Structure 1
Amino acid sequence: MSVTTPTPEPTPEDVSRGLAALEHLLAEEAARRASRPPVMPGETRRVRQLRAEVAEAHALADLQDDDTPLLLDTPKVRKRRKAAHEAARLHALAQDPTMRAWQAARMRRLLITAALVSLTLALAWSTAGVQAFAADDAPAWSPAWVFAWLVEPFLSLALLVIVGARAYTATRGQPITAPALIRIEWLFLALTVGMNAWPYLPLVAEHFSFSRLVLHILGAIVAVAIVTALPIILAAFTGLDHGPLTGPTYRANTGPGRTDITALTAHAQRLIDDGALPAAPSANRIQRTLRCGMDSARAVRDALTEGETR
């Protein structure tokens, strides 16, 4: 025996929802039919497809005429624009006289360092040649042979002192041009070249070899070239015109004048009367408050003290 459950009657809300869903479905179907191109009598399916493609092409052509998407910057364009803006600012900064002066000073320091290192290596290269000249066939490790290794180092140190002094003063715009110092410099260079070349000169060497001669005087030649060229290079750097500098300017330190001290003392007295300064302020307090030099602050303190004792 089967028991059937009676179907409940729909409520008014269920009826309303069903009618609304039916109306929505009918509206979608009507819109779908309206969007379809009208079917002409005798049109086939291929004709309808071609008509739809033509309509789509017209719609795309209308959208392609709008250049708005092309006006937007892509990430790559923004990145390139940022790099170009940075390059333009760096170029403008490089033209600033202060930056040009800094670049010149940096390059000058680099060239001086490279020249002195090269000069040191060149003199070290010639040490072996000078030792062979100074030892004069002395037995190995004998006192004469050992001390012969010290000839070139102390000669090179003396030469480096002169070259370094001339290089430094040239960077300060005051090159040393004393004839005596220049003659001493060339004397050291001539001794270095002569001691390196003498054992290998024609009529001196048992078997003359031009390549061997050049190899032994190479260090001395490099040293002569650096000593000759370095002052010229530094003089050229000193004469560079970077344009008007835009950096901060400085004034020379001047001692406190009586007029300034009088004005500062009067100002300090007004601050004391207003309570901004104590009755007997220290020099440090006066300096911080008046923003003056320590000498002026001491003078103001002494003037205030003298005024109180009167």
Structure 2
Amino acid sequence: MSTTSPVPEPTPEDISRGLAEIERHLIASAPTAPVPRDAVERVEPVGEPWSGQTRRVQRLRAEVAEAHQLAALQADDAPLLLDTPKVRKRRKAAHEAARLHALAQDPAMRAWQADRMRRVLVTAALVSLALALGWSTAGVQSFAADGAPQWSPGWLFAWFVEPFMSLALLVVVGARAYLGTRGTPLNDPKLVRIEYLFLGLTLGMNAWPHLPGVADDFSVSRLVLHVLGPIVAVAIVTALPIILAAFTNLDHDPHRGGLTGLTYSANTHDPVRAPAPEIAHLIARARTLIATGELPANPSAYRLQRILRCGMDDARAVRDALADPS
């Protein structure tokens, strides 16, 4: 007969140890709850230096790194030294303006500009003269027809009166204009009288039928309209030689400051003051103007100064040289 030994009663320490083992077993065997995707997001690939960080942390880290780089670059003033497109455009315009100004001071350029302007003015004057004479054609035809029936020989031939007078006048004016542009003004008194003869005839034939006491129904406006063409023609014929003479006397060198210097010493024959080197040129010009009739045979010093555009002392010297042929 066997005997069993009694089982010892567990001590409080044994009970605590058993409860701890049961708790560990339950924790180890319990299922793991899934972590929400938006709570922690891993960044792939794992090998990158910022792997294991949340997207928010990565964005902030990138922002901080960008701020450090911008702060370092902002300290460099190199971009401020570069010209913007607007500055380049303005500098180019200023450089071009400076070169154009320098070119405008060149004597050759000034001569070319004066010649171009002179041609434009002569062309405009001749066109205006032709239009003014054409304007008076109807008035001259009415005067020349003298009441002839329409389409009759007298009525038809009356239309040719103004054209052949105008052509003759344009021959004289054109010749004077062309020679004036070549520095040889044609101021013969006979040609001047021929010009004013044709213009006077044109003016008279236009104005006569509309004068007070001649016209049945006088009207100032009708008279002005009919004399407008001849008056414009007279003005052009008078002004054109003066304009061309002024162009001929132009000095295209801005450094000389004119044809002659303005001199006003007390006595032309003062031995202290040497004669200007342009005196011989002025004497030759004065003799040419005397030959063409623009100056009288013995012009005064004042008139020589005004025509030759020189100083009074030079004008006196020219006057004395003209009075003394030796």
- Residue of 74, 97, 107 corresponding to 1:87: 97
Q: Spell out the pairing of 1:95-106 with structure 2 (5 A cutoff).
A: 95-106=105-116
Partner of 1:221: 231
Q: Spell out the pairing of 1:25-104 with structure 2 (5 A cutoff).
A: 29=49, 60-104=70-114
- State the Cα distance separating 1:240 from its structure 2 match: 1.2
After superposition, the CA RMSD in angstroms is 2.8
- Residue of 125, 128, 147 corresponding to 1:115: 125
Q: In 2, Cα distance between the equivalents of 1:241 and 1:62?
A: 64
Question: TM-score, structure 1 length as denominator?
Answer: 0.60
Q: In 2, Cα distance between the equivalents of 1:101 and 1:181?
A: 29
Q: Spell out the pairing of 1:1-310 with structure 2 (5 A cutoff).
A: 29=49, 60-243=70-253
Q: In 1, Cα distance between the equivalents of 2:46 and 2:86?
A: 47
- What secondary structure sits across from 2:148 in the alignment? coil
1:179-209 CA deviation, whole Å, 9 max, x = no partner?
1111111111111100000000000000100
Runs of 5+ in structure 2 lacking a partner?
Answer: 1-44, 256-326
Runs of 5+ in structure 1 lacking a partner?
Answer: 1-23, 37-44, 246-310
Q: Which amino acid aligns with 1:63?
A: L
Q: In 2, Cα distance between the equivalents of 1:234 and 1:61?
A: 72
- What secondary structure sits across from 1:149 in the alignment? helix
1:215-258 CA deviation, whole Å, 9 max, x = no partner?
1111111111111111111111111111189xxxxxxxxxxxxx
Q: In 1, Cα distance between the equivalents of 2:138 and 2:145?
A: 10
- State the Cα distance separating 1:166 from its structure 2 match: 0.8
Question: TM-score, structure 2 length as denominator?
Answer: 0.57
- What secondary structure sits across from 1:150 in the alignment? helix
Percent of paired sites with the same residue:
77
Q: In 1, Cα distance between the equivalents of 2:66 and 2:190?
A: 97
- State the Cα distance separating 1:173 from its structure 2 match: 1.3
- What secondary structure sits across from 2:195 in the alignment? helix
1:33-65 CA deviation, whole Å, 9 max, x = no partner?
9xx9xxxxxxxx99xx6x997886665444323
Q: In 2, Cα distance between the equivalents of 1:224 and 1:199?
A: 20
1:241-286 CA deviation, whole Å, 9 max, x = no partner?
11189xxxxxxxxxxxxxxxxxxxxxxxxxxxxxxxxxxxxxxxxx
Q: In 2, Cα distance between the equivalents of 1:155 and 1:56?
A: 92
Q: In 2, Cα distance between the equivalents of 1:146 and 1:163?
A: 28
- What secondary structure sits across from 2:213 in the alignment? coil
Q: Which amino acid aligns with 1:212?
A: R
Conserved 8 A contact 2:105-2:254: no
1:118-175 CA deviation, whole Å, 9 max, x = no partner?
1001101100000101111111111211111111011001110110111111111111
Conserved 8 A contact 2:172-2:191: yes
- State the Cα distance separating 1:105 from its structure 2 match: 0.4
Q: In 2, Cα distance between the equivalents of 1:133 and 1:69?
A: 83
Q: In 2, Cα distance between the equivalents of 1:143 and 1:97?
A: 59
Q: Which amino acid aligns with 1:91?
A: H
Moved more, 203-212 or 179-188: 179-188
Q: In 1, Cα distance between the equivalents of 2:68 and 2:228?
A: 84
- What secondary structure sits across from 2:214 in the alignment? coil
Q: In 2, Cα distance between the equivalents of 1:65 and 1:97?
A: 53
Q: In 2, Cα distance between the equivalents of 1:218 and 1:143?
A: 28
Change (3 A) 1:156 1:243: same
Greater fraction helix? 1
Q: In 1, Cα distance between the equivalents of 2:129 and 2:75?
A: 72
